[in-house]
Chain A
C-alpha cells in the first residue's frame, strides 16, 4: 500500500481545525483538509485529549457536547487515530529540556515515538529541532 501523508496534531491545531478557524497555518490546514477527505492521517496524543478536556472545563473552548462525544465524532473518521501514552513517551518527555510545559513535552514525545511531523505553531518546539514541524 502507498504511504499516506501522516502527522501528529498539537492541541491548538486540532481546536483551530474543529472551530474552522483561519488561525490554522497553511500547511496544517491542507493536512487537515486531506484528513477530512480521508486522504491523510492525523494522530492525536493522549496529552492533546487531556488538554482539550481541561480547556473545555476552563471555558476556553465550547465543544457543544461532552469531551467524550467530541472525540468519538473525531475518531469516527478513519483518518484520525489516538496515540496511546507509553512509558517510553514519558521518558522521552522527561529528557526534553527545551520546555517546562508537561503537555508540550508529552506531545513532542508522542510525535517522536512514531517518527512523524507535528502540526503546531509553537515557536519553541520548532526552534528546538526535536521534531519536524508542519504549520
Chain B
C-alpha cells in the first residue's frame, strides 16, 4: 500500500511509551504504522490510567533495609529442595491376559 506523509502531535505519555519500547532510536513512522495496524487488528488493550506504586507497600518491620531478604529467599529454595521427591511411573495400560485366573509358581 502507498504511504502518505502526515504531521503528528503526540501526547507526552505516549511519546515516552514509544521511547521505552525502543522506538525512539528507529523509524517513528514505522512504529506508529505498526501500532495502528495492531489497533486495527484488535491486539492492543484498553488505555490504562497511571497508578503510582509509591507508598503502596510495606517492608517487614523487623528488616526495613531488606538485609535478610537473600536469606529469606534461600530458605524458600532450601525448603523446596529438601522435600522428598515423589516420582511414580504411570502404570502400563497393557496387561497380558491370564486365562484361568491366578497362577502359582513352583
- In-complex Cβ contact of B57 among A12, A59, A70, A76 (8 A): A70
Q: Tell me the A residues contacting B by CB distance below 8 Å.
A: 1, 3-4, 11-12, 15-21, 23, 36, 38, 41, 51, 54-55, 57-64, 70, 73-74, 76-79, 81, 101, 103
Question: In which size bucket is the chain B interface?
Answer: 35 or more
A38 CA / B19 CA spacing, docked (Å): 11
- In-complex Cβ contact of A64 among B56, B66, B75 (8 A): B56
The residues of B that contact A58 with a CB separation of less than 8 Å are 72-73, 75-76
Other than the known A58-B72, A103-B73, what 16 A-B pairs have Cβ atoms closer than 8 Å? A1-B24, A3-B24, A12-B66, A17-B53, A18-B54, A20-B55, A21-B64, A36-B52, A51-B69, A59-B60, A60-B59, A73-B51, A73-B52, A74-B53, A77-B50, A78-B13
What's the nearest-Cβ distance from chain B to residue A16, in Å? 8
A54 CA / B75 CA spacing, docked (Å): 11
Q: Tell me the B residues contacting A by CB distance below 8 Å.
A: 12-21, 24, 28, 48-60, 63-66, 68-70, 72-73, 75-76
Asked if B56 and A18 sit within 8 Å, CB to CB, the answer is yes
For A41, A60, A62, the residue with the greatest tally of chain B CB atoms inside 10 Å of its CB is A60
